Structure 1
């Protein structure tokens, strides 16, 4: 008898898992509490603007991400960001400064102090750290200096995690950076050595390019649903609860529907696990559910006619030490096609984060007023007359892989060992980017198939 698999959550991880299971003929049912699929991915189109409620882009950081889009190429098309996406701006002392991309730029930029530029020359010769739970801030101060932390790493972390480098643990939050130091002894030397290492044809697919899908990221979600089969998705599935049985699991939803499954894959947030899996030990779940999440406000702003400074960059990031009210902005229409009318602009602005969670509680009017004041000054506008302004709030936007990560991963491993056929996944582990989610989904499917 073929196995039946339940997947809880119809976001990118859950749908990718379901897609690869269906390719092997496994019987799958995906349960989603919302009335739509895609999780945080949602493309909206209005009056000539194409904007995202949620992530706007991904990075081709894994071969699995490129391969999934290749497999769906009959239904959706990859869009690689144009050259403007290679440039990032950092706000310092009332103006934008280009973030340097090489050693020479790092030495000449006004972003970093003279003493730290001298420290940069010695970075390849410093010893690797010995604390596996060292914070990102401590690591950067140790290897590169305070100004690099303030004006390179801190805004970078705000852009990815909306987080605090003092609380993120490098080994879990940025494992590739951690491994550069541990394996090669240096960020700079390690990057050079790693670039020279031979790559397989498959590895070359992880180009690190910024990507979207032509017409928006929802086209990727729609393609996955079409391949999986909409009849295998149950939306509006409220009050999902899973019980462990002698053989497999029973899943109930909407208070009166119960179905038996051989395996259950959870892709929901850490905070939702206790109510969904009441049979799991409280002490083990506590190690997982204490995972903190950043609260973020996203404001999509569109102009039919752009009259500010030229937006030839991926976006601008605002270091926390600059004490502004926005985390940064993405200039989407500068590097993706058809996101705004010709001659216009589409900008995605972010507020809140771990260090300013109170922003999520502000009214739409207050948020719009803040964005108007900040962007008018920062982007050289003489008047504020947007044609589009959409506010979205996310109470659990981005998990923060901090000091709790080691215990969290140990708890997940113990639960899965004690309950064969139960997999706890989603962004509570294995990375937060779209490529991370796709890779995890494929690996979950391969594990279940084996």
Structure 2
């Protein structure tokens, strides 16, 4: 049995603590916020259940399902129906369905005829040679400008609140990068992947959109209970101190330890607050660009807009809108709005409009209401719920700073044996990635 300190009680830290304890270790989780879950937080108001942080995840890895199974709450894992596969992109004021097959790919107004008819020639295009090529350059080269403008660009702004001009596929989208790098083509690589035998365990990775019944905070609460509330130190900023090959944690006026291992799972920008002794040797560890994002929960007791028959709608940069995207939360999951009502999650800011987060409250609400009413064709924009959450550091960008950060993380682990580095600064941002990383960190201990 080892005595382990986990810094950060977001989904990565909670997963690490849960699996470390499950393996028979003693754990203590330190979190500077006064509650567990990190940015994952669910609230209720006026009959609506809404998220103020991540709204959904994807069951892209079996670790998601296994976490719910290991907690004994598999019945609470809520996977959205097939209707979530319907994604909409705004073009010239109209919401157009993102193509999902050959026929819709040919008939969609989103892409140019040049790019539609150029698609079969993608396997014969020259392989890229620059590992630091931007996503924009890669997609433009392999698929064409219109597919970049009306598929990839809105995806990047919707998922990462980012910009494809600065995103590096090798770090942000390694699976996409490896399709070309290993197979010379997206299409050839996809076909090759389809032919590979899949372990039985991988069937759990349904790729469906997921949440927890009652909201993602319910998952955090079950993890907190399984880990043991007595094993949390909340509301204090932890500082790691190294002593004779062991570690202690100073939090406020209290000291904890000694610990055999420290698992860091908090944000990259705050790393030297917890590990001050690493700053001089590894200054690149906190080099990260975070997108600022405002999340707006908008609820209606009666819906009068366009049909909400899908996952949501994304706004390409070319359309010059003031929002990034809209998720149809009450379509995806049950009991998110009063009977007959609707709940939307609207995202604003990102790298596209970082200044919007600082708008006066009345100006911000006026702007968002005007955009949503226009896009969703709402004749009388009087929502019954309008709740805003601003995030100064919402989503880390996987750009050219990423390899510098990754090397610094490895350097810290090597220089200070017993410290393990995680968090959304490395290995991706999705919920599945965070859960899998937390479990992997516990396994490394």
Change in Cα spacing, 1:220 to 1:8, as seen in structure 2 (3 Å) is same
For the residue of structure 1 that corresponds to 2:305, the secondary structure is coil
Distance 1:229 1:197 in 2: 41
Q: Which residue does 2:69 correspond to in 1?
A: 70
Change in Cα spacing, 1:198 to 1:247, as seen in structure 2 (3 Å) is same
Q: Which residue does 1:138 correspond to in 2?
A: 137
Q: Is the 8 A contact 1:40 1:55 kept in 2?
A: yes
Q: Which residue does 1:79 correspond to in 2?
A: 78
**For residues 146-165 of structure 1, what are the structure 2 equivalents within 5 Å?**
146-165=145-164
Deviation at 1:76, TM superposition (A): 5.7
**For residues 344-359 of structure 1, what are the structure 2 equivalents within 5 Å?**
344-359=341-356
Distance 2:313 2:437 in 1: 30
Q: Is the 8 A contact 1:76 1:213 kept in 2?
A: no
Q: Is the 8 A contact 2:292 2:391 kept in 1?
A: yes
Compare 126-135 and 85-94 and name the one that shifted more: 126-135
Q: Is the 8 A contact 1:76 1:223 kept in 2?
A: no
Q: Which residue does 1:185 correspond to in 2?
A: 184
Deviation at 1:445, TM superposition (A): 0.4
Q: Which residue does 2:268 correspond to in 1?
A: 270
Pair 1:33 & 2:53 matched: no
Distance 1:191 1:347 in 2: 33
Change in Cα spacing, 1:407 to 1:244, as seen in structure 2 (3 Å) is same
Q: CA RMSD in A?
A: 1.3
For the residue of structure 2 that corresponds to 1:348, the secondary structure is strand
Distance 1:426 1:173 in 2: 15
Q: Is the 8 A contact 2:68 2:74 kept in 1?
A: no
Pair 1:307 & 2:304 matched: yes
Q: Which residue does 2:421 correspond to in 1?
A: 424
Change in Cα spacing, 1:228 to 1:107, as seen in structure 2 (3 Å) is same
For the residue of structure 1 that corresponds to 2:210, the secondary structure is strand
Distance 1:150 1:402 in 2: 19
Q: Which residue does 2:253 correspond to in 1?
A: 255
Deviation at 1:114, TM superposition (A): 1.6
Q: Is the 8 A contact 2:172 2:428 kept in 1?
A: yes
For the residue of structure 1 that corresponds to 2:54, the secondary structure is coil
Deviation at 1:258, TM superposition (A): 4.3
Deviation at 1:275, TM superposition (A): 2.3
Deviation at 1:355, TM superposition (A): 2.2
Q: Which residue does 2:204 correspond to in 1?
A: 205
For the residue of structure 1 that corresponds to 2:129, the secondary structure is coil
1:37-68 deviation digits (Å, cap 9, x = unpaired): 00011111222211111111100011111111
TM score, norm. by length of structure 1: 0.96
Q: Which residue does 2:285 correspond to in 1?
A: 288
What is the number of residues matched between the two proteins? Answer: 445
Deviation at 1:257, TM superposition (A): 3.0
Distance 1:191 1:256 in 2: 53
For the residue of structure 2 that corresponds to 1:67, the secondary structure is helix
1:270-317 deviation digits (Å, cap 9, x = unpaired): 1111222111143513x1222100000000000011111111110000
Q: Which residue does 1:330 correspond to in 2?
A: 327
For the residue of structure 2 that corresponds to 1:202, the secondary structure is helix
Give 1:400's match in structure 2, choosing from 397, 400, 408: 397
Deviation at 1:74, TM superposition (A): 3.8
Deviation at 1:131, TM superposition (A): 1.6
Q: Which residue does 2:226 correspond to in 1?
A: 227
1:192-213 deviation digits (Å, cap 9, x = unpaired): 3322322111111111111111
Distance 2:281 2:90 in 1: 44
Distance 1:227 1:14 in 2: 13
For the residue of structure 1 that corresponds to 2:390, the secondary structure is strand
- Structure 1 gap ranges (5+): none
For the residue of structure 2 that corresponds to 1:198, the secondary structure is coil
For the residue of structure 2 that corresponds to 1:279, the secondary structure is helix
Compare 43-52 and 182-191 and name the one that shifted more: 182-191
For the residue of structure 1 that corresponds to 2:330, the secondary structure is helix
**For residues 87-102 of structure 1, what are the structure 2 equivalents within 5 Å?**
87-102=86-101
Q: Which residue does 1:46 correspond to in 2?
A: 45
Distance 1:258 1:333 in 2: 44
Deviation at 1:190, TM superposition (A): 2.1
Deviation at 1:244, TM superposition (A): 1.8
For the residue of structure 2 that corresponds to 1:427, the secondary structure is coil
Q: Which residue does 1:372 correspond to in 2?
A: 369
Distance 1:107 1:168 in 2: 28
Q: Is the 8 A contact 1:244 1:250 kept in 2?
A: yes
Pair 1:434 & 2:431 matched: yes
Distance 2:429 2:382 in 1: 35
Q: Which residue does 1:298 correspond to in 2?
A: 295
For the residue of structure 1 that corresponds to 2:270, the secondary structure is helix
Q: Is the 8 A contact 2:12 2:435 kept in 1?
A: yes
Distance 1:394 1:206 in 2: 30
- Structure 2 gap ranges (5+): none
